Chain A
Amino acid sequence: MHHVYFDHNATSPVAPEVLRSFTAAAAEVYGNASSIHYFGQAAKQRLEAARRQVAARIGCAAQEIVFTSGGTESDNLAIFGIARGKSGAHVITSAIEHPAVLNACARLEREGVAVTYVRVGPAGIVSPGDVGAAIRPSTVLITIMHANNETGAIQPIAEIGALAREAGIAFHSDAVQTAGRIPLRVADLGVSLLSVSGHKFGAPKGIGALYVKKGVALDPILYGGHHERDRRAGTENVPGAVALGAAASLESGWPAIEPLRDRLERAILDRVPHCRVNGSVTHRLPNTTNIRFDGIEGEAMTIALDLRGYGVSSGSACSSGAVEPSHVLLALGLNKEQARSSVRFSLGPGNSAEDVDGLIEAVVESAAHLRRISPAFSDDRVVAHA
Chain B
Amino acid sequence: MPELIAVAMSGGVDSSTVAAMLKREGRNIAGLTMQLWNQRRLPELASEETGGRCCSLDDVYDARRVAEHIGMPYYVVNLERQFEESVIQPFVSEYLAGRTPIPCTLCNTFIKFDQFMTLADSVGAGVVATGHYARVTRNVETGRWELRTAIDFSKDQTYFLWGLSQAQLARTLFPLGELTKSEVRSLAEGFDLPVAKKGESYEICFVPNGDYAAFMDAYLHEQGGEGAAAAGGSIRHTDGRTLGQHNGAHHFTVGQRKGLGVSAPEPLYVIATDPKTQTVTVGSNDALLRSTLIACDINWLSWEGLAAPARARVRIRNRHVPAPATLYPLAGGKVEVRFDEPQRAITPGQGAVFYAADLVVGGGWIE
Contacts and interface: CB of A to CB of B under 8 A. Distances in A.
Interface of A: 297, 299-301, 303-304, 306-307, 318-324, 336, 369-370, 373, 376-379, 381, 383-386
B278 interface: no
B123 A321 contact: no
Given A320-B35, A320-B57, A373-B121, 5 more contacts: A303-B30, A304-B122, A319-B57, A322-B76, A383-B86
Contacts of B79: 377
Given A307-B4, A377-B82, A378-B118, A385 B123 contact: no
Nearest to A375: B118
Contacts of B122: 297, 300-301, 303-304, 369-370, 373, 376
B131 interface: no
A336 B80 CA distance: 13
Interface in B334-367: 365
26 contacts: A300-B123, A301-B122, A303-B30, A303-B75, A306-B73, A307-B30, A307-B73, A307-B124, A318-B78, A320-B33, A320-B35, A320-B55, A321-B35, A322-B35, A373-B118, A377-B82, A377-B118, A378-B118, A379-B85, A381-B86, A383-B110, A384-B297, A385-B101, A385-B106, A385-B297, A386-B296
B94 interface: yes
Contact of A369 (B35, B73, B114, B124): B124
Contacts of A319: 57
A303 B123 contact: yes
Interface in B69-124: 73, 75-82, 85-86, 90, 94, 101, 106, 110, 114-115, 118-119, 121-124
A318 B39 CA distance: 12
Nearest to B351: A385
Contacts of B77: 299-300, 303, 322-323
Contacts of B64: 321
B60 interface: yes
B-side interface size class:
35 or more
Contacts of B123: 300, 303-304, 307
Contacts of A370: 122
A373 B123 CA distance: 11
B78 to A, nearest CB: 4
B55 to A, nearest CB: 7
Interface in B25-54: 30, 32-33, 35
Nearest to A372: B121
A228 to B, nearest CB: 34
Given A369-B124, A373-B121, A385 B73 contact: no
A-B residue pairs, 5 tightest by C-beta = A322-B35, A300-B122, A322-B78, A321-B76, A322-B76
A342 to B, nearest CB: 14
Contacts of A384: 297
A320 B63 CA distance: 11
Contacts of A385: 90, 94, 101, 106, 297, 365
Contacts of B110: 381, 383
B108 to A, nearest CB: 13
B244 to A, nearest CB: 32
Contacts of B297: 384-386
A276 B121 CA distance: 24
Contacts of A383: 86, 90, 106, 110
Contacts of A301: 122
Contacts of A376: 118, 121-122
Contacts of B33: 320
B241 to A, nearest CB: 33
Nearest to B296: A386
A212 B35 CA distance: 41
Most buried by A among B73, B77, B296: B77
Nearest to A374: B122
A385 to B, nearest CB: 6
Contact of B60 (A320, A369, A379): A320
Most chain B CB neighbours (cut-off 10 Å) among A318, A320, A369, A373:
A320
A381 B87 CA distance: 12
Nearest to A305: B123
A340 to B, nearest CB: 9
Nearest to A386: B296
Nearest to B61: A320
Nearest to A299: B77
A386 B333 CA distance: 14
Nearest to B97: A386
Nearest to B60: A320
B78 A381 contact: no
B321 to A, nearest CB: 25
**Which of A323, A369, A383 has the most C-beta atoms of chain B within 10 angstroms of its own C-beta?**
A383
Given A385-B106, A386-B296, A300 B35 contact: no
A297 B106 CA distance: 23
A310 to B, nearest CB: 13
